Amino acid sequence: MKTIFHLDMDAFFVSVERILDPSLEGKPVIVGGDPHGRGVVAACSYEARKFGLQSGMPVRTAFRLCPHGIYLHGHGKEYERYSNIVKKFLENYFPMVQQASVDEFYLDFTGCEIIYGTALLFAQKIQSEIWQQFALPCSIGIASNKTIAKIASDYKKPKGITLVTQGKEKEFLAPLPIEKIPGIGKKTFPLLHARGFKTVGDIANSSPDYLSVLLGKFGNELWEKANGHGNDILTIERERKSISKETTFEADIVNKTKIETKLFELAGKASQLLRDENLQTSTVSIKLRYSDFVTVTRARTIIPTDDDKTVFDIAVDLFRKAFTHRVGIRLIGIHLSKLNHFGEQEVLFEDEHVIRKRMLRAVMKIRDKYGYKSIHIGKT
Q: 59-89 pLDDT, tens per residue? A: 999 999 999 999 998 998 899 999 999 999 9
pLDDT at 379 over 60: no
Q: The sheet that has 70-72: what strands, in order across it? A: 43-44, 29-31, 70-72
Q: What does the pLDDT read at residue 348?
A: 36
User: For the residues 1-5, what does the mean pLDDT come to?
Assistant: 94
- Find the catalytic residue in 17, 47, 104, 260: 104
Instruction: Report the C-alpha gap between 226 and 211 in whole angstroms.
Output: 12
Phi, psi at 255, each rounded to 5°? -75, 110
DSSP letter at 48?
A: H
| Residue 378 bridge partners (DSSP) | none
The tens digit of pLDDT for each residue in 218-238 reads 899 999 999 999 999 998 765
Give the pLDDT of residue 236: 74
Examine the pLDDT at 107 and tell me if it is beyond 80. Answer: yes
Residue 128 host element (H or E): helix 119-134
Who's near 338: CB < 8 A, 6+ residues apart?
A: 281, 282, 283, 301
The whole-angstrom separation of Cα 339 and Cα 242 is: 7
Residues in the chain: 380
User: Is residue 178 a contact partner of residue 202, using CB atoms and an 8 Å limit?
Assistant: yes
pLDDT above 70: percentage of residues in the chain: 88
- pLDDT over 70 (residue 281): yes
* pLDDT at 188 > cutoff 70: yes
Instruction: Please state whether the peptide bond connecting residue 22 to the residue before it is cis, i.e. omega within 30 degrees of 0.
Output: no
- Listed range (17-26, 101-110, 251-260, 357-366) with the worst mean pLDDT: 357-366
Burial class (CB in 10 A: 0-12, 13-18, 19+), 117: exposed
User: What sign for the dihedral angle of Cα 360, 366, 367, 368?
Assistant: positive
Quick one: pLDDT band at residue 319, thresholds 50, 70, 90?
very high
**Alpha carbon distance 32, 346 (integer Å):** 46
The pLDDT of 95-120, averaged and rounded, is 94
55 pLDDT exceeds 80?
yes
The answer to whether the beta carbons of residues 41 and 57 sit under 8 Å apart is yes
Instruction: Let me know if 104 is a catalytic residue.
Output: yes
pLDDT of residue 374: 53
Asked if residue 334 lies in contact with residue 267, where contact means CB atoms within 8 angstroms, the answer is yes
Q: What is the pLDDT of residues 35-54, one digit of tens each?
A: 887 788 999 999 999 999 99
Q: Tell me the per-residue pLDDT of 122-166, one tens digit each, with 9 for 90 and over.
A: 999 999 999 999 999 999 999 999 999 999 999 999 999 999 999
User: What percent of the chain clears pLDDT 90, i.e. is strictly above it?
Assistant: 66
What is the pLDDT, as a whole number, of residue 239?
A: 62
C-alpha–C-alpha distance, residues 292 and 363, integer Å: 39
Check residue 251 and give its pLDDT: 85
Supply the pLDDT for residue 366.
Answer: 58
Phi, psi of 337, deg, nearest 5:
-135, -175
* φ, ψ (nearest 5 deg) of residue 45: -75, 165
Mean pLDDT of 290-311: 90
Q: What pLDDT is attached to residue 371?
A: 55
Q: Burial letters for 234-270: b for 16+ Cβ neighbours within 10 Å, e otherwise?
A: beeeeeeeebebeebbeeebeeeeebbebbbbbbbeb
The two beta strands, 161-163 and 4-9, are unpaired
Q: What is the pLDDT of residue 347?
A: 36
CA–CA dist 24, 135 (Å, integer): 14
Q: Is 180 in a helix, a strand, or coil? A: helix
pLDDT tops 90 at residue 31: yes
Q: What is the pLDDT of residue 243?
A: 92
Residue 230 near residue 106 (C-beta atoms within 8 A):
no
Strand bridging mode 104-108 / 329-341: unpaired
Alpha-carbon dihedral sign for residues 356, 362, 368, 373 = negative
Per-chain mean pLDDT for the chain: 88
Helices then strands, each counted (H, E), the chain: 15, 12
Taken in order of first residue, the domains within the chain and their CATH numbers are 1-166 (3.30.70.270), 167-235 (1.10.150.20), 242-374 (3.30.1490.100)
Yes or no: say if 174 and 201 are a contact pair by the CB < 8 Å rule: yes
Asked whether residue 326 carries a pLDDT value surpassing 90, the answer given is no
